[in-house]
Amino acid sequence: MPATPLINTLVTLYVNTAGDLNNDLENNVWFADTDGDVANNNGANVSNYLTEVTKNGNITWVGAVKDITANPTDYVTITGITPLGDLRNKLSISAEPSNPANGNVTHVNARVTGNASTDPLEYSITFVVSKINNLGERHWNTFTIDPKLRISTTQ
């Protein structure tokens, strides 16, 4: 059972940059949020990862390398959050890396403007994973994953 939703929450997208992202993305991605909810590859389906936040709350997404010590030149950057379906009218994106109103190109910020919903609402996260290969060349790939968001009245 998820923790009581916070007014404001941070969702961290962890990526195992050493894994086979092209063929097994879901088993190389983890989510965690400030409610203490965690989804990983130990049987959890990250496409159904659910973050709960209250109406008028703020939500911030950030990408991170799962094992930065072993992969110090890798990075994960969220390049966009796309509300889908009913969430399009309930989430106001205020800053994306391409337009960093907050001056921070690593975070995506949004305000929850819509009413509470008992159903999980769909959105997609697009992110770039960058690595340096054994020839010293930087390569990057873009990926998308579709977690869920629920707007709660509980504070």
Amino acid 33: pLDDT: 83
> Which domains does the chain possess?
9-152 (2.60.40.3910)
CA distance 100 to 134: 33
φ and ψ at residue 4, rounded to 5 degrees: -60, 130
Please say whether the beta carbons of 70 and 18 come within 8 A. Answer: yes
Q: Which of 39, 55, 5, 18 is nearest to 125 (CA)?
A: 39
Q: Determine what percent of the chain is predicted with pLDDT higher than 70.
A: 80
Q: Which residues of the chain have pLDDT under 70?
A: 1-6, 35-45, 95-105, 153-155
